[in-house]
Amino acid sequence: MSQDLQQTRRLIFDELTKIVDPEIGISIMELELIDKVLIENGKVDIDLHLTSPFCPAVFGFKIAQDVRDNVYRLNGINNVKVTVSNHFMAEAINKQVNESKPPEKSEN
């Protein structure tokens, strides 16, 4: 793994650690909700699951949107796709989050 890719991966995981499950107040990384992170040429695919198949959909949307927005804001990231699985609203969450307008990039 190249130095740049390792650095990007570290930055992504730092951002993911900041995201907290709003229902229980614990980081999604601590809860081990991230299943896969693929990085290739500025494109990031993130697969995740929620704490239960029937956790409140509003929390599922919030977590998935935060994942996409936080990672998208990183320098060098041009596209982020989030895929939620094992949830009764997974299809709707994935559609809404991935079709939403990307967040503004910071000047940092």
Q: What is the CATH number of the domain that holds 56?
A: 3.30.300.130
Is 75 domain-assigned? yes
Is 52 domain-assigned? yes
Is 106 domain-assigned? no
- Return the C-alpha torsion angle 62, 68, 71, 76, nearest 10: -160
pLDDT, averaged in runs of 10, over the chain (108 residues): 88 97 96 97 96 94 97 95 97 97 76
Q: List the structure tokens of 69.
A: 């927005």
What count of other Cβ atoms lies within 10 Å of the Cβ of residue 58?
11
Distance CA(31)–CA(43), nearest Å, equals 25
* Beta bridge partner(s), residue 37: 46
Q: Name the pTM for this structure.
A: 0.93
Is 105 domain-assigned? no
Is 107 domain-assigned? no
Domain count within the chain: 1
The domain in which residue 26 lies consists of 3-99
**Per-residue pLDDT at 106:** 66
